[in-house]
Structures are given as C-alpha cells and as structure tokens.
C-alpha cells in the first residue's frame, strides 16, 4: 500500500520506518525543515535502538522518502497517518492545534476519498470533531480512524512489529477492512486486532498509560512507607508482584516517571473527566505522588550534606527519563539538577545518549562528563538517576576511591546494599534499609 505519515517525531518516524520495512511505499511529511534535511541526509534525529538501520535500508530500497510538502505527500497516497504532537496546555488539556491544522490541510488537498488514521494521542471525542472539521472543508469522503500507539521508548521497533494488541476505532465496515489489510503482517503471531468505536479507542490509550503510571506511583508510596517502618521495598515488591493479578512490570520504586507519554496522558485524562464533571481522585493522586517523587533524590542529598551545598560537587549518572532513549521530556533528572543547583552545588553529569538534549535544556549550568568515571572523579557524591545498562555493574570500589566523599545515592535501587557498603561506599537508596 501507499502510505503518507504526517509528523516525523517519535511516533511518526517509527510508524513510517516500520511500515516501509513491512513493504509499504511510505512518504513522511514534516514542516520542520531542519528535521527533514537531517532525514534526507540519513541522520535520525532521535535515539531509538535499531531505527537508523531500518531507515537506511528502506530509503536505499526505495520504499521510504521524506518531504516538507504535504500536498506532495497526499498525491502519493490516500492513506494518511496523522502523528503530530499533542503537548499539554497549562491547564493539563491536550493541545490539538496541530491535529486540526493537518486535518484541514488534508481536506483542502483531497482529490479523492482519504482514510485519515489518527496515531497522535488525543482526548475522547477528537475523532468526531476531526470528522466534522474535514467535512466542512471538502466534498470528498474522509474516513477518520482512531489507532492509538503503544510504543515504549527504547523498544519501539519491537513493540510496533510484535505488538501485544492493535486497537482501531472505526465507524464503517470499509475502514475496518482497510485496517485489517494494513496490519495483516503483524497478526500472524495470533495477537489481537481490537475493533471498537472511536471514543473507546481514544480512551483505551489514556487508560493504559494512567494504569501503568498508577503502578509506579503506588510502589513509590509503598517505598516511602518502607523507609519509615524499616521494611525492604524490594522484598515487598517481589512478594506482591508475584500475584499474577498484579505482576512485576512497572512495579519498581525510583525517582519518578517522565517522558512524553505518562505525564501528559495522566493530565489529559484528568482534564477530560473534569470537562464531564468527574474528578478522577486516584489518577490525580498518581500525578501528585510522581511530582513529589522527582524531588526525592535531591531531598536525600540535602538531608545528608545540608541545605547549603556550596562547594559540593555532585555527580549524576543518567539524564534521559529512562534507558535506551535520549528523551528528557519531564525527566526526573531535571528536577534533581535544578534542586541541587539552587542549593549551590556544582553538578557534573554523564549520560550515554542524552547529553546533547541536556545541553539544549540546561545549557552550561552543569558540566558534561565524557565517561561515567570522569563524572565521579573528585565528586562529593554520586547520584544514579537513570538505570542504563552500563551503570549496572561498575567497579564500586573504584567509585568509592574516586569520590572525595564516598556517598552513593541509588535512585533506582540497582545495587545490592551489602556490596556497595563492602566496597567502601556510604549507600543510600529508596525504600530499603
């Protein structure tokens, strides 16, 4: 099939590259000249394992191209994936200006029937609004399908090509048949394609992300209780998570969640409920707990060294909101860094992929180390914020020797306390004695 993807951000680029890898003829459209120029030169503007190899192969074999010209993209195909950003507005609602702008342009350019597939995460009722929006601007038949993405950054290629499920909100038998044909190669493993109405599909995405965020905030609250009562949150987590109704995934305490999905989607779900006169008490608490949790590591450092950190040099391992990505949107590291700087500390950080993004957000307010141990050398403490694999098995004795004051704050409970202490480190973690 011939496919056009509008938006080459995280979701759009993964969708376009993976669809091309499946053999479809794909044109990706974006208004960002710098981004399109980079893609035409073969440079992937985001870090996602495996994405650059798939992109290079699909471009080389002629199945994938990039353009800033939406009209050109629409001449190429009558199947359009809409994958533009829907960032949070100040009141927590989703900013849909990009969605409606693209929909209007699709309607204006349409010379034949079009299937507009909304991949962007949008509030309940958006598909109906888009359907009315395009209906006012064209006499061509435009199907509007809700097809939320469930991609995990760092594992997006595998998630797309081997999905747990594919959710499609459709309003006609023709749209359903098209989606079945489009995704047929991904259904051979027996995983389901779930058809439902548009509103249910839209709410499905928010429900999934809010529930996963709830698991994270819940175990973070239990970790805080463990600190007070002298219990070990790791033992508690393993005991409770062994129940098949609960499970171990997304059930780890830490420095809080961040990224482009959980914070934004939790707020948008709360805002949607508010518009209908419903206060989502549990989901609201999830966000409140997470925002407090982002301060936990900085609080631990200040409790250990005092409110005035002038003259203290603090090393950070990890800046991205999670491993295997360079994404720092709402990353806990930003809260940690800003709190430490405000207290007078000097901060030196290392991240294997996110340093360029940190420079954009933090500038020269912190130092950027070229290697993990270069950050540690001469520091008064080491704070682990993001659990990249290369941080999981360091020589802890060498870390202790390199630090001016051998204190390790483990924001992800990666290390065994007895091993850290045996290496000569004063070890502090979350929810473990």
| 279 Cβ contact partners less than 8 Å away, ≥ 6 residues apart | 273
Q: Cα 338 to the chain's mean position, in Å?
A: 21
In whole angstroms, give the CA distance from residue 124 to residue 273: 10
Q: Cα 111 to the chain's mean position, in Å?
A: 36
Residue 310: Cβ-neighbour burial (10 angstroms; 0-12, 13-18, 19+): exposed
Share of the chain above pLDDT 90, in %: 93
Shared domain check, 331 and 211:
no
In whole angstroms, give the CA distance from residue 52 to residue 223: 39
Q: What is the pLDDT of residue 71?
A: 87
Model confidence at 91: pLDDT above 90: no
Clarify whether 261 is annotated catalytic. yes
**Residue with the two structure tokens 């203290």:** 312
Separation in Å, CA 41 to CA 35, 52, 55 = 10, 12, 11
Q: Report the relative pairing of strands 407-410 and 426-428 from DSSP bridges.
A: parallel
Separation in Å, CA 48 to CA 22, 55, 201, 227 = 18, 11, 26, 36
Residue 287 lies in a domain: yes
Tokens of 118: 């909304």
In a 13 Å sphere around the CA of 342, the CA atoms on its Cβ side amount to 10
Contact 170, 179 (CB under 8 A): yes
Encode pLDDT of 46-71 as tens digits.
999 999 999 999 999 999 999 999 88
Shared domain check, 365 and 327:
yes
Shared domain check, 182 and 40:
yes
- For residue 284, the domain's CATH number is 1.10.1040.10
Q: How confident is the model at residue 325 (pLDDT cuts 50, 70, 90)?
A: very high
Q: What is the pLDDT of residue 67?
A: 95
Residue 2: Cβ-neighbour burial (10 angstroms; 0-12, 13-18, 19+): exposed
Residue 230 lies in a domain: yes
Shared domain check, 224 and 247:
yes
In whole angstroms, give the CA distance from residue 431 to residue 229: 10
Q: How confident is the model at residue 413 (pLDDT cuts 50, 70, 90)?
A: very high
Q: What is the pLDDT of residue 407?
A: 98
Domain span holding position 134: 2-196
Q: What is the pLDDT of residue 348?
A: 98
Residue 220 lies in a domain: yes
Across all residues in the chain, what is the average pLDDT? 96
Shared domain check, 415 and 336:
yes
Residue 186 lies in a domain: yes
Model confidence at 390: pLDDT above 90: yes
**Residue with the two structure tokens 């202490």:** 421
In whole angstroms, give the CA distance from residue 156 to residue 104: 29
Residue 57 lies in a domain: yes
Shared domain check, 301 and 287:
no
* Candidates 168, 226, 261, 429; catalytic one: 261
Shared domain check, 39 and 111:
yes
In whole angstroms, give the CA distance from residue 331 to residue 358: 10
Encode pLDDT of 292-324 as tens digits.
999 999 999 999 999 999 999 999 999 999 999
Encode pLDDT of 168-227 as tens digits.
999 999 999 999 999 999 998 888 999 999 999 999 999 999 999 999 999 999 999 999
Shared domain check, 279 and 160:
no
Query: What SS3 class is residue 190?
Result: coil
Contact 345, 370 (CB under 8 A): no
Shared domain check, 305 and 263:
no
- Of 196, 218, 249, the position where a domain reaches its end is 196
Q: What is the pLDDT of residue 389?
A: 96
Residue 433 lies in a domain: no
How many folded domains does the chain comprise? 3
Q: How confident is the model at residue 160 (pLDDT cuts 50, 70, 90)?
A: very high
Tokens of 272: 């949607």
- Of 292, 322, 346, the position where a domain reaches its end is 292
Give the E-state strand segments of 180-235 in sequence order. 193-196
| 412 Cβ contact partners less than 8 Å away, ≥ 6 residues apart | 252, 254, 255, 384, 385, 386, 387, 430
Q: How confident is the model at residue 433 (pLDDT cuts 50, 70, 90)?
A: confident
Single pTM value for the model? 0.92
In whole angstroms, give the CA distance from residue 46 to residue 156: 12
Shared domain check, 104 and 84:
yes
In whole angstroms, give the CA distance from residue 344 to residue 324: 31
Query: What SS3 class is residue 3?
Result: strand
In whole angstroms, give the CA distance from residue 275 to residue 289: 23
Q: What is the pLDDT of residue 190?
A: 86
In whole angstroms, give the CA distance from residue 386 to residue 309: 22
Contact 403, 391 (CB under 8 A): no
Shared domain check, 173 and 304:
no
Nearest to residue 202, comparing CAs of 152, 261, 145, 275? Answer: 145
In whole angstroms, give the CA distance from residue 10 to residue 14: 6
Residue 218 lies in a domain: yes
Shared domain check, 254 and 162:
no
- Of 174, 196, 218, the position where a domain reaches its end is 196
- For residue 381, the domain's CATH number is 3.40.50.720
Share of the chain above pLDDT 70, in %: 100
């Amino acid at each position: 099939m011939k496919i056009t993807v509008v938006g080459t951000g995280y979701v759009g680029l993964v969708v376009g590259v993976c669809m091309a890898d499946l053999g479809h003829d794909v044109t990706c459209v974006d208004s960002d000249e710098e981004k399109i120029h980079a893609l035409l030169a073969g440079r992937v503007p985001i870090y996602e394992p495996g994405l650059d190899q798939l992109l290079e192969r699909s471009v080389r074999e002629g199945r994938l191209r990039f353009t800033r010209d939406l009209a050109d993209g629409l001449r190429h195909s009558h199947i359009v994936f809409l994958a533009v950003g829907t960032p949070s507005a100040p009141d927590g609602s989703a900013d849909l200006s990009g969605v409606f702008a693209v929909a209007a342009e699709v309607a204006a350019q349409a010379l034949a029937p079009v299937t507009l597939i909304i991949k962007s995460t949008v509030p309940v009722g958006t598909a109906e609004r888009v359907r009315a929006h395009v209906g006012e601007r064209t006499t061509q038949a435009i199907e509007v399908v809700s097809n939320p993405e469930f991609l995990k950054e760092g594992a997006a290629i595998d998630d797309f090509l081997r999905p747990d499920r594919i959710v499609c909100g459709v309003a006609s038998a023709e749209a359903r048949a098209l989606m079945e044909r489009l995704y047929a190669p991904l259904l051979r493993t027996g995983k389901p394609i779930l058809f439902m109405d548009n509103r249910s599909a839209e709410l499905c995405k928010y429900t999934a992300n809010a529930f996963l965020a709830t698991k994270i905030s819940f175990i973070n609250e239990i970790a805080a209780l463990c600190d007070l009562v002298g219990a070990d949150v790791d033992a508690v987590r393993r005991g409770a998570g062994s129940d098949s109704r609960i499970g171990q995934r997304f059930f780890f305490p830490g420095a809080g969640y961040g990224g482009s999905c959980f914070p934004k989607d939790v707020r948008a779900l709360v805002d949607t409920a508010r518009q209908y006169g419903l206060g989502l008490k549990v989901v609201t608490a999830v966000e409140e707990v997470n925002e407090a949790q982002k301060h936990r590591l900085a609080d631990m450092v200040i409790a250990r060294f005092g409110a005035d950190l002038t003259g203290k040099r603090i090393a950070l391992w990890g800046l991205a909101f999670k491993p295997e990505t360079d994404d720092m949107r709402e990353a806990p590291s930003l809260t940690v860094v800003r709190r430490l700087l405000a207290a007078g500390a000097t901060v030196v950080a290392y991240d294997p992929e996110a340093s360029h993004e940190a420079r954009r957000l933090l500038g020269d307010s912190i130092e950027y180390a070229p290697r993990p141990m270069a950050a540690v050398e001469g520091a008064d403490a080491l704070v682990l914020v993001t659990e990249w694999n290369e941080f999981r098995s360091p020589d802890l004795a060498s870390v202790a020797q390199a630090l001016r004051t051998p204190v390790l704050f483990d924001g992800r409970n990666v290390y065994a306390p007895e091993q850290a202490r045996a290496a000569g480190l004063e070890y502090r973690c979350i929810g473990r004695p």
